[in-house]
Amino acid sequence: MSDTPLVDSFSKSFGHTIQNKTEFRGEITYTIAASDLRKIATFSRDELSLDYLLDITSIDNFGEEPRFEIVYHLYSMPHGIHLRLKLKVSEDVGAVDTVSDIWPTANWHEREIYDMMGIKFYGHPDLRRILMWDGYPYFPLLKDFPLEGLPSEMPDVAFTKVTPMEGGPFVTVPSTATSKDREPRARPPEL
C-alpha cells in the first residue's frame, strides 16, 4: 500500500501532523494527535475514499501515560485498502471528539468504548451505556477492574456482591478433558 497515490496524498496533506507511521503486511498505521482526529477522518473519508469504518478499539495501557489508546480501523471499498489511525488519550482528559457524524457506524463503537473503558466522546449524539445498566458506576474493561467484580448498591441487579472466584466463570480445573467438560458450569454441584 505504501506505493499508492492515496498514501502520498495523505502524507502531503498531513505529513507534519503524523507522529508515527508503521507498515505491516501491507497495512499502514498512522499515529496522530487527538486534536487532529476530525480533520484527518474527514479527509480520509472524502479524499481517500476510506468510506467504511470497520471498528474502533481501545487499549488500556495501565501504568503508562497516556493511559489509553484508540485505534480506528478504516477500509476503502473502491480501492480495497486498509488504514489504521491511532491516537493516545490521557486518563486526565479521558475524552476525544466523536466521528459518528463522519462514519455513522462509530455511534455504537464509541458507546461501547465509553461503557467499558470510560472514555468519553465529545459531540456524540447519544453517549450512554450500551452493555451495562444505567447508573453502573464502574468501567469493567479497565485493567485495574478486579475479575471478581466490585459491589454495587443497586438492589435487584446481578452482581450486587463481590463474586467468589472459587468455581466462578473464570476458573477451570486442570485436566485432560475438553474445555466443554472443564467449564465450571458444566460440572455437577458438589454436595
Give bridge partners of residue 30 from the DSSP assignment: 21, 85
What pLDDT shows up at residue 159?
A: 56
What pLDDT shows up at residue 1?
A: 47
pLDDT tens profile 87-144: 999 998 889 999 999 999 999 999 999 999 999 999 999 999 998 888 778 888 999 8
What pLDDT shows up at residue 96?
A: 96
Q: Residue 26: CB partners within 8 Å, gap ≥ 6? A: 1, 82
What pLDDT shows up at residue 173?
A: 55
User: Can you identify the CATH homologous superfamily of domain 5-136?
Assistant: NADH:ubiquinone oxidoreductase Nqo5 subunit (3.30.460.80)
- Is residue 6's pLDDT more than 90? no
pLDDT tens profile 23-72: 888 788 999 999 999 999 999 999 989 999 999 999 999 999 999 999 99
Q: Are 76 and 136 in contact (CB under 8 A)?
A: no
What pLDDT shows up at residue 58?
A: 96
Closest Cα partner for 149 from 130, 169, 133, 129?
169
| Domain extent listing, the chain | 5-136, 146-191
- Is residue 170's pLDDT more than 90? no
Band the pLDDT of 179: cuts 50, 70, 90: low
What pLDDT shows up at residue 9?
A: 81
* 169/87: higher pLDDT: 87
Q: Return d(Cα 71, Cα 26) in angstroms, integer.
A: 17
* Global confidence as pTM: 0.78
Q: Return d(Cα 67, Cα 168) in angstroms, integer.
A: 30
Closest Cα partner for 38 from 126, 125, 121?
121
- The one-letter amino acid code at 76 reads S
- Is residue 156's pLDDT more than 50? yes
CA 99 to mean position of chain CA atoms: 14
Q: Is 178 helix (H, G, I), strand (E, B) or coil?
A: coil
* 177/94: higher pLDDT: 94
What pLDDT shows up at residue 13?
A: 83
